[in-house]
Amino acid sequence: MAAEKKSGIITKCLGGLYTVESPDGVFECKARGVFRNKKIVPYVGDTAYLSENVITGIAERKNCIIRPPLANLDQIIFVVSTCEPSPNLPLLDKFIAIAEYKGIKPVIAVTKVDLAQYEAILQIYSKIGIELVVVDYRNNDAAEKLNKILNGKISVLTGNSGAGKSTLLNALGDGFNVETGEISRKLGRGRHTTRTAELYKLQCGGYVADTPGFSTFETNKYDIIRKEELCGCFHEFSAYTDKCRFRDCSHTCEKGCAVVQAVKDGYISESRHRNYCVMYDEAKQLKEWKL
């Protein structure tokens, strides 16, 4: 009699052993030996097919990031602090664009609002068509806001070291007990280290993974955004791109560019457009054979 096949989500990978959570229980599995020959690498977040505690197949992914190795993400929560460290907006805009390009919903969580003004961040990012939440722990609804965002989703938290990810995780009320500013025993990571990702199940029904800071959050070489596709990753440009004088407008500096005019008129943030132009110049330098 053939062994019964199951499917579930990979929540952890360590030393070639995969933890798979399925409706039938949690299983510790190894991958088929043929995976290595076929260069198939299971990622945390993958839907895996099992037979006798062996992963026999991986369902098609809707997206993935390579470091940390995570698949099938619904959203990336970018934790941005008002100060200590100060927000790195060029890097934030780059990663928002990458998330958009990969079909992962970007969300911004602004922290440390009790220490510094956050109106400038709000002014820029509340108008670009993505969800933004101000996390104020002085109010009792901080955890409620976060759980609503995370409910039923596979989410990743990322941000500069010290931006407040640990405090945010603790606010979820799921027993993380992460020591802020210190090594996270619950998540198994110290500062400036890159390790295998792990998904943690939340009481609200979703999963969350912590990640390294922005400086080590990476995508693979196939995720480079071509210059022709870049403007589609800046939502606020979409209302103007069809109004440009030239069909091949780069939306950087051309005469008759509706995007440039919208920047001058204050409808598009100068900093967002400036960061777009930097990314566009970088994309122009790419050689097609490298893509």
Residue 79 φ/ψ, nearest 5 degrees: -90, 115
Mean pLDDT of 62-75: 90
Residue type, 187: L
Predicted confidence band at 182 (pLDDT cuts at 50, 70, 90)? very low
**pLDDT tens per residue across span 15-31:** 889 999 999 899 999 99
Structural domains in the chain, CATH included, are: 5-60 (2.40.50.140), 70-216 (3.40.50.300), 226-290 (1.10.40.50)
pTM recorded for the entire structure: 0.85
Convert 66-88 to b/e letters by CB count within 10 Å (16 or more is b): eebbbbbbbbbbbbbbbeebebb
**Helices 89-101, 270-284: inter-axial angle, 10-degree rounding:** 70
Burial environment of residue 173 by CB neighbours within 10 A (0 to 12, 13 to 18, 19 or more): middle
Mean pLDDT of 73-83: 92
CB 225 within 8 A of CB 98: yes
Predicted confidence band at 198 (pLDDT cuts at 50, 70, 90)? confident
**pLDDT tens per residue across span 238-249:** 999 999 999 999
Specify the pLDDT at position 189. 39
Q: Examine the pLDDT at 176 and tell me if it is beyond 90.
A: no
Predicted confidence band at 164 (pLDDT cuts at 50, 70, 90)? confident
Specify the pLDDT at position 219. 52
Specify the pLDDT at position 192. 41
